[in-house]
Structure 1
Amino acid sequence: MMDDKKGGNGGWILGVWRFADHLLLSLMVACTLMAAVILTWDEPIWTTVLLSLCLVIQGLLHPGPGDRLAMLTAAILGTPAEIAEVHLGEWTYYAPDLMWGVPMWIPLIWANLFALFRRLSRSWTAILDIIFEKEGVLRRRLDMVLMVSIIGLWVSALLLMDKPPLVQGLYALMILLTALFWRTEMDSLVFLTGGTLGAVGEFVCVQLGYWSYFNPLFKDFGVDITLPLDWGLSAVIIHRIASRWQGSQPLQRL
């Protein structure tokens, strides 16, 4: 009985440490990323330097399994996606020294953000481990609530969006994929973390006039209803690719 108590206390302390260890660095990185983009928008060289520094810090200080691969994956997939969307007229950047229509530091911000989403999600997992039993009934119910919330967001966007039928079909496909395959606790946390932080950060930058969307649903705010979903989906895809490549930990616990 005494050993169980000690084990329980040790597990609780370890959980608190995991939460604090991931969260402190994550918050510092998040603040630095936001400040780097907002305060040095008109000085792309300085933005590039600051984002590079953040990338080095994230890559060297307590990276989780797959974090570095997530950085590489995000930069490789995100940069051409940004260029394609700009040339398709989805949005326009207003910044000096654009390259193919996007800022020169786009690969760096993608690499930083999606590694950050994974770090923060591990913090949420650690705090959940403290509050709930890993395989307990309440934990399973929470996982179900997270998944139902995400599916609800997808369905709402599908019903409200003003997009061509092809785009609507793609979003419907995403609902199906989410329900069938991307439904672990970590998937949900990565989705919600990326969707929330990505959308908030982008909303701030749109209000500051750094870029604009061609035909946003919420015209008074300049953003579309699909914004958090696009961020969340991208976060899950990059997380899954990085997890599959590194292969040293089960996907749901990465």
Structure 2
Amino acid sequence: MSISALSMVAPNALDDFCDLQSVPVHRHFGRNEIVDRFRRSVPFDYIIISGLDVDGYRFGKGHSIDTDLPPAFMESYAADALSQSDPFVIAAKTSFTRTEEKDVYAVSPPPARLVYLADLFGVHNRTLFPIKRSGVVYGAVCFTRNDPFDADELAFLEVIAEPIHTVVTRPLMERFAAQELRLSKGEIACLAHASVGLTSEEIASVTEYQVDTVNTYIKAAVKKLGATNRSQAVAEAIRRRLID
């Protein structure tokens, strides 16, 4: 497994990539100012941000991971295919709530190789928070620390998990989400105008599309975004950062 030093929060990080498939899957960002601000509130050793709200890239697929874990740990973990036998990962993939390593290990002990790597690189007490939308887990943020997190710290980490995920994955979503969802420029433009309250007739006047074309674009966007109506599609487009 190749570990890239690409940091999603670095300026112009994605300039050299033409689509989501060309972006390295496993990205090591090292020390990061934004993450360190949260780390000062609740100290943690490492963080793993995984999954995107895009089909094929959701949590559990292993197709989008940003972390400051030691690259050697990640490479060894992948080389030994430990994700297939790691009880913590297996449990987290089917959970809709917080997953704590100690609770999982109490029921399903980890393989000896994983214990060795965790001790060697200081990766302990993994605690994962799922990131959800409409009952679907699409992402996750996992924190590690040598000492277990207490109840107050867990409550704080649960609050900051989604904002951290959003900050780190925003560049990918802003650059490639529309492309992955196959939304056309016309569909995005109509949603953007609808988001400020314009009717189909008003959107047609601004864009110089026919009213029927505007309605067709919006109906197509509603379907692609998995929404049920125009308002829901606009909200979903804003949430996915397809429009401002």
TM-score normalised by the shorter chain: which range applies?
A: under 0.3
Rg larger in 1 or in 2?
2
Which structure has more helix as a fraction of its residues?
Answer: 1
Structure scoring higher RCO (CA < 8 A, sep ≥ 6) equals 1
- TM (normalized to structure 1)? 0.25
